[in-house]
Each structure stands twice: as C-alpha cells, then as structure tokens.
Structure 1
Amino acid sequence: MLQLDSGFELDYSNIYNESCIQARDIQNFERAIQNVWRHTNILRSTGYEEGHLSKDGQPEPILFYQLPYISEDGINTPEMMNRLHCLREYARENIDTVISIGIGGSYLGSKVIFDVQCGSFWNNYTDEERQGYPRFYFAGFNVDGPYLEGLIKTLISQANEKGKDYKVLLVVTSKSGSTIEPMANFMILQKALEDHHINYEVTVVTETNDDAHPTILHDMAIKHQWRTFSVPYGVGGRFSVFTEVGFVTAALVGFDIEGFLAGAASMDMACQEEDVYKNPALFSALLKYIASERYGRIIEVFMPYGESLHSLSDWYVQLLSESLGKMSNTCLPYGRTPVPAVGTMDMHAQVQEHQEGRLNKVVQFIKVRDWNTSLVVPNLYSEYDKLDAIGDIPISDILNSALDANREALSIDNRFNMTISVPTLNAFHLGEIMFMHCWAVYFESILAGVDAFDQPGVEVYKRLIGPKLQTIKQS
C-alpha cells in the first residue's frame, strides 16, 4: 500500500505479489526508470520533451507540469483567478442558463468538474438551491440533431417561463475555432436564440497568443467583443482541465478551483519522489506497463464507484488513448485499450467478462471511503431474508462493500487490479486523482518509447472529413 499524508492511497497488492507481477520484474526496469528521470528532468528544466514536435514539425513546449501552481509568470496566474472570480459573480447575477460547447478535452474535463460539483439533478433545483448559479448544459461534444433540438426546446421553454429577463451564456471552447462539432453546434444554437428573440451572450475559450494572427474563434471574439479566456500554448486538450478550459466551467458552478489545484500540487510533489515505491504515478505506470508487455494485460478497465465519477472514466479514456496509443520509437504499435466502467452498474454488465474472460485486463478501481451521505436503507420488508440483509445499512457502505467484493473476487483468480482510494470526494482529492494520471501516462510513455503529446492518428480522419463535407455542400 502506498499512502500519502493527504489520505490518498494506492493499493497495489492485487497486482504486485507472488502470483502476479513480482519484485524481479521491477528490478529488471532499473535502467528504464533512470531513463524516465532523465526525460522528466529535461522536461521540468526546459519545458520541452525530447523528440516531440508539433503537427507542423516544429519544436513545441510541453508545460502540463506547471499547471498546479498559481504564479505571475506561470500558466495559471493571479490575474486569471481574479477574472474567473468576476465571471462567477457576474453569472450568478445575470445569467439563467449556460451552454458549454466543446469536444474532447474541451468537454470531458469540464464534465468531470460539473458532475462532482453539481451531480445529476442540478438543472432541476431552484435558483436558491443552486445558490444563484445558472443552469448548465453541454453541447458540441457530438453532432447529434435530436439532442440539439431537445436542448433548443428546453431553452425556449425556460425563456417563455421567465420572460424578457431570461439570458443564456454560450461558452464556446475550441483552440482554433474550426473544430467541426463545437462550431456547428454553436452556430445552430446562436441562430435558434436569435430566431426566438432570446437574450444571450458569448464567452469563448480559445488560443489567444497572437492578436496579429488570431485563430478563427479569437478573430470572431475580437470583432463581436465577446469575453475571452485562453487555451494555453503548450498544454494539450487532455490535460487542459487544469487550465481556463476547465476553470470557466468551474467558476460558473461554484467549484473550488484553488482546492483542485492544491490537490494537483500535492500530487505533483509526490510524483517527484525518485523511489518508485513512494511515487504513485510512476509505480502505477510501471506496473501497468509490465502487465501489458510481460503478462499480456493490454486492456485497462477504469472503474470508479459512484455515479458522480462516471465521467471521470470518459476523461481517462481520452487521456490514455491519445497519450499512449501510437507507434513507438521501435516502429511497433503500442497502447492499452481503455474501457470505461462505473460501479456498481457495470458489475451487472461487464464483470462477468472481467472475472472469467480472457486474461488480458487490468482493472483500476477508484474508491471514495466516505461519501458524506446519511442515507440508510430502511428495513421495510424484514420478512424477506435477502431484503432484511440490506436493511439498516448506509447506502454508501453497500457501494464500497460491492467494490471490495469485486476486487477480492478478481484477486482470487489472480486477475490484475489496483485500487486508488481517497478519504472523501472534494476538489482537492479530485485534483490528486486526475493529476496522478496525467503523470502516469507521461511516465508510461517513456517506458514504451512513445510521444505522449502528439496525436497523429487523429489528423488522418480530420483530413478525410473535409472533402466529404465539401462534396455534400456542392451537391
């Protein structure tokens, strides 16, 4: 068990033991671990990853390691925090509904923040129950006509109910402003609001480094005098939840940004520990790499327990896929296929395969030890033994008992699994969990010989879709 002072725990006993990965496996990687630290030291001291180039073939900085720290000369600055605070208070006073429009990292990280802070029923609460924060919806993460039609109907209904004082804030997040899904959604929503005479404002989160040569979305913001926040240069979308990309959502729903960064900073310090057994990200990366390359466990099931962490699985799928699924420096393909799951739901959907299917998986559990809920199952039908067995038991104890039973069942058959647990679910511990995995995929990329920060495979379909859309436009 690897334990941090914060209460964060990494239980690796069900993957690192005499029947699974063993000490001699770790010992065989001493030189590889030295190479990890060589790369890491270069990255932290220069801001560049050895061998990494942008999609244009130019050297490109890699700066995710700076993100936990607020400083005048950093990515996250005091001035940025002040602007986010102003946005928060403005929205509470003036905005009824927010539509966050983005895809990939511009959506997935924000969705985690929203789900942890707000839960599933936020938009059904009264203004008082939301403490003045606006209703919040997501769009742009797909090009789904029926979904968008339903959202437009919802906005029209809300506007009719409140009247002329009703106001919508469209938050458009795109590094370039040319990404098809969010921009198509934005233009449809904008026109729908105008057609129905609904008041709205626009805030954009985009690359704003060069006013002389602005991106499409930045140029639109300048022309229309829209409020702007920045997609920072040197931070890929899958890491951007720790930037203004995620923090605009955080501000608009009252999420504790400072606490989130403090958790990430605490984890960043732990990830600088050179003893592999004391470094949660490095040890996790090493175990998963050995599990893949020596034991054939090329699939990772990422399984938090609790519905508010469901979207954390989706965020991790992108982080793992885009960081590790590519050609290595030995010209061989590498990657572990991520499978999102959530407990207990997927105990009734996937676990049969986990328990008795092919021996090709590592299961990563995420456990919250105290859910801070007082709900207890009432003992209403004690005449039935199986219902009497769950009567008078706190619902969160049932959740965690299910997790413990699942991991124990897998372990009986030597099926590889690890458990990350935190004392409770708050911004600090969420920051710990997410930033640990940012470092873990970087460490594993060095072990595997892949560039964690490019995504050449994504560019292939992007090149193909443009001509197809042009053909439709001309037909």
Structure 2
Amino acid sequence: MKNNLYYPQISLSNEEIFSEIKKERESIGYYSLPHVDITDLKIRLDNLNFTQKQIAIIGIGGSTLGTYAIYNFMKYNKQHSKTLKKELFFFESTDPVNLNGTISQLNLEDTLFIVISKSGTTIETISIFKYLMSIIKIDKSNLLVITEHDSKLNTFATTNDINSFEIPKDVGGRFSVLSNVGLVPLYLAGFNIDELLRSAKKISTSFFEQHELYDHLIKKARTYYEFKDVYNINAIFSYSQLLEGFNKWYVQLWGESLGKIDINNTNQGLTPIGLLGPVDQHSFLQLIVEGKSDKTLTFIKIKDFKDDTKIAPITLAGLEDLDYINNLNFKELINQQADATIASVKECKKDIPIDIIEIENISEYEIGKLLFYYELLTSIVGKFLRINTYDQPGVEGGKIILKEMLKK
C-alpha cells in the first residue's frame, strides 16, 4: 500500500512574514544597496577618465537586464539627451547575426568595453568577449570588468592590470542592478545614480519602517499567494515603449525567483508576462477579456511624459470622422488608451485582481523606485510561498548540461 500525504501550506500572518523579511536582510545583500555610500565609487570612475563615446556591455540576464531597463527608460529623455556622455550597447545573445549586427553599430576604436559576470565563467559572456578581442585590441585602456572578487574573470583582470569592480557575493544577479553591475556603466554614461539610490531608499524605508508601502506590499503579495492556484499568471501591462526593458527585467526577476520547489516539496510558480500598451491591446487583450480568468493584471502608466507632441490637425479624405483626435497630445492619447483598457477589463472580468501603478515622470528617481518596489514584492511573495527566492537550480542544471555537451 502506498500512501502519500500532502500537507497544505500554513498561511503566515503579516507580522510573521515581515519579521522573516527583516531577518533576511542579514544575509541577502540587495536590501542594503540603496544605503551604500557611493562617493568613493564616483571618484574612482572619474579618475579613470575614459573618453570613449560608446559603451559595449557584455553580459546576460541579471548582468544586463536591469541596466538596460534604466537606459531604455531614460535614453529619450530630452534633458538627458544633452548631458549623456556615452551611448550604451548590449551584447547578450550568442545569435551570430545579432552579434555582428550590434558590432556594426559601433565605432570599435571609440568604445569602452565592460564585461559583467558574477561567476566570471558565464559561457555566453566569455564567448562574446573572446570574439570581440579577436577583432579589436582590448586592454586596460578600453576595458572594465565587473565580477566577484575571487572569480576567474577577476583573476584575468588582475593579471592584465585591468580595472575591476566587485559584485558582492550576497547579491544575486537578478537583484544586482543597484550594485556596481548597474551603477558603473550608468554613471559612466552620465546618469544620476544618486537619484536611483535615493528613490530605492525611500521605498525601502517606507516598507521597513511600516509606513504607507508596508500594508500595500504585504496585501499585494498575500493576494498573489492566496489566489495562486486560480490566478497563476501575473501580467504587467506597461503603457510606454520606454518600459520595454523593465518588462524584460521583471520577467526574469519574477520567473527565476518564484518558480521553485517549496518546503513541502511542492512545485510553486507564478508566470510573469510583460505587455506593452497600446500595442498589445490589439493582440493579448483579447485573451485577457474573453479567455480564461487565470491572470492578475498590473497596469503601469506614466503621469507626465513631459512631451507635448500633438496629433496634426489634418483632415484626411474619407477619414473625416476621426478629426476628433486632431490637436490631441500623444501623452494624453496613450494614457486614455490605458484608462479605456482598464475600464474594459474591469467591466468584462469583474473577478480578476487589477492594480495600477502611476509613475510621475521619466527620471532616474522614478525608475529606481519601480525597480526596488518589485524586488521587495518578489521577496515577500517568496516568503509566503515558503521557497528559496534567491537560488536558481533549474537554471544551473542547464548550464551543467551545456558544459558537458561542449566538452564532448
């Protein structure tokens, strides 16, 4: 006779979850990043005096996605377009066509290369780095390394007198954007990294000192946990192309952190989906409205794009009925599209959880808040699920198999 008993998870109180998260700060390093004094980091970077106009970041996953999220959000900001010192390019994929296509956009003689790998042995990163070294001379004059202090990549940097910046061992890759992983390239490019940290610190303080974000984050995380078997898909609907990078970062953060086996040896996981409005109104919205009710929705809007571009007051033959959009600001149009979508979903799907995040403007301060908000939310959901939020054995298994295949 075979008898299997499956014990239900015990739903902990808000106070117990909060106590565990506070305790976790002693061993999980990302919590402390907003509080780090970066004065010495900025002085060191200023003294390096790199003059290259382009930066090529070589990395993958947590080594690049956070930086890309911030860069993609900020790069068209009119204020920053005048002050940015360098343009960023990202080498993440071993797709040879994409690799050479990205290279074709660079002036290799005027490029600073930054290799980022926490372990220092990431196959994709080292493969791309080797190829770039074969077509352009790369040395301490045009190269920085960001890695753990005892990695093989750091040994390479030390041997060749190349400047290296440390990734703390207690900071996981997907939680590392506010470490040297993101701060070094963003500062060199001309972004205000003090504002990134200041806003993240505000989020941290609000939660840990139990101000307005405490109840909000705990309630949101508990909702995801208690309804996980009904609403197993968490979709972010970002109403701006500027948030495309954030969506990609969120998908890695949520998927790699929460897809785990819990303390009862039960498979857990909440599937992340990143959508962009208004584009995905014309595709995925159909599935949301008339498909299965298995998704929660978070809409993200930008309150003020600080761009007054208007729809031209032109009458088109045969399209006179659309003249009501003439002279409408595009920033008003996109936010009304968001509001209409939200209203439509609420009307058709009264049973699914919906929340709205409104970003004030396009700035380092606002994107810093959003990133740290989601890192905290991920950690809290992980506590409810009774999983290890910070490992990734499923990913590591694939890496091991790949190395065995390549060695053969």
Normalising to structure 2: TM-score of the pair? Answer: 0.91
Identity %: 26
SS of the equivalent of 2:328 reads coil
Residue 357, structure 1, aligned to residue 357, structure 2: no
1:157-178 Cα shifts (integer Å, max 9, x gaps): x36xxxxxx4321100001221
Listed as ranges, the matches of 1:22-33 within 5 Å are: 31-33=12-14
Q: For residue 357 of structure 1, what is the amino acid of its counterpart?
A: G
Aligned match of 1:64 = 30
Residue 175, structure 1, aligned to residue 118, structure 2: yes
Aligned match of 1:319 = 253
Aligned match of 2:64 = 107
Contact 2:62 2:174 in 1 (8 A): yes
Aligned match of 1:241 = 177
Change (3 A) 1:278 1:219: closer
For 2:84 and 2:272, how far apart are their aligned partners in 1?
A: 38
For 1:110 and 1:176, how far apart are their aligned partners in 2?
A: 18
Change (3 A) 1:224 1:386: farther
Paired residues, what number?
Answer: 395
Contact 1:276 1:282 in 2 (8 A): no
Q: 1:287 aligns with which of 201, 218, 223?
A: 223
Residue 315 of structure 1: how far off its partner (Å)? 0.3
SS of the equivalent of 2:181 reads helix
Q: For residue 152 of structure 1, what is the amino acid of its counterpart?
A: I
Q: 2:142 aligns with which of 201, 207, 226?
A: 201
For 1:42 and 1:135, how far apart are their aligned partners in 2?
A: 40
Q: For residue 117 of structure 1, what is the amino acid of its counterpart?
A: M
Aligned match of 1:138 = 90
Q: For residue 41 of structure 1, what is the amino acid of its counterpart?
A: K
Aligned match of 2:353 = 416
Change (3 A) 1:199 1:152: farther
Q: For residue 81 of structure 1, what is the amino acid of its counterpart?
A: K
Residue 426, structure 1, aligned to residue 360, structure 2: no
Q: For residue 360 of structure 2, what is the amino acid of its counterpart?
A: P
Moved more, 382-391 or 237-246: 382-391
Contact 1:110 1:250 in 2 (8 A): yes
SS of the equivalent of 1:372 reads coil
Aligned match of 1:98 = 55
SS of the equivalent of 1:308 reads helix
1:424-457 Cα shifts (integer Å, max 9, x gaps): 1211111111111111111111111111111111
Listed as ranges, the matches of 1:352-391 within 5 Å are: 352-381=286-315, 384-391=319-326
Change (3 A) 1:198 1:467: closer
For 1:350 and 1:411, how far apart are their aligned partners in 2?
A: 16
Aligned match of 1:440 = 377
1:218-268 Cα shifts (integer Å, max 9, x gaps): 011011111111111211011111111001221122111111111101111
Change (3 A) 1:132 1:305: closer
Normalising to structure 1: TM-score of the pair? Answer: 0.78
Q: For residue 217 of structure 1, what is the amino acid of its counterpart?
A: L
Listed as ranges, the matches of 1:190-339 within 5 Å are: 190-194=133-137, 201-208=142-149, 214-274=150-210, 278-293=214-229, 296-339=230-273
Contact 1:32 1:447 in 2 (8 A): no
Listed as ranges, the matches of 1:395-406 within 5 Å are: 395-406=330-341
Q: 1:39 aligns with which of 1, 4, 20?
A: 20
Aligned match of 1:454 = 391
Structure 1, unaligned runs of 5 or more: 1-28, 48-60, 72-76, 123-127, 160-165, 209-213
Contact 2:114 2:144 in 1 (8 A): yes
For 1:171 and 1:198, how far apart are their aligned partners in 2?
A: 11
Residue 78, structure 1, aligned to residue 34, structure 2: no
For 1:285 and 1:43, how far apart are their aligned partners in 2?
A: 17
Contact 1:300 1:339 in 2 (8 A): yes
Residue 136 of structure 1: how far off its partner (Å)? 2.2
For 2:277 and 2:129, how far apart are their aligned partners in 1?
A: 34
Aligned match of 1:18 = none
Residue 270 of structure 1: how far off its partner (Å)? 1.6
SS of the equivalent of 1:327 reads coil
For 1:423 and 1:354, how far apart are their aligned partners in 2?
A: 27
Moved more, 111-120 or 408-417: 111-120
Change (3 A) 1:200 1:353: farther
For 1:117 and 1:227, how far apart are their aligned partners in 2?
A: 27
Residue 389 of structure 1: how far off its partner (Å)? 2.0
Contact 2:139 2:160 in 1 (8 A): no
1:186-211 Cα shifts (integer Å, max 9, x gaps): 110111114xx999611000111xxx
Contact 2:314 2:326 in 1 (8 A): yes
Change (3 A) 1:187 1:358: same
Contact 1:102 1:182 in 2 (8 A): yes
SS of the equivalent of 1:98 reads strand
Contact 2:119 2:148 in 1 (8 A): yes
1:16-71 Cα shifts (integer Å, max 9, x gaps): xxxxxxxxxxxxx9843122022123223xx1xxxxxxxxxxxxx31211111134
Aligned match of 1:12 = none
SS of the equivalent of 2:144 reads strand
Structure 2, unaligned runs of 5 or more: 1-9
Q: For residue 183 of structure 1, what is the amino acid of its counterpart?
A: I
Moved more, 29-38 or 145-154: 29-38
1:309-330 Cα shifts (integer Å, max 9, x gaps): 1110100011111111101111
Contact 2:58 2:113 in 1 (8 A): yes
Residue 382 of structure 1: how far off its partner (Å)? 6.4
Change (3 A) 1:277 1:308: closer
SS of the equivalent of 2:60 reads coil
Q: For residue 202 of structure 2, what is the amino acid of its counterpart?
A: S
Contact 2:259 2:267 in 1 (8 A): yes
For 2:211 and 2:366, how far apart are their aligned partners in 1?
A: 23
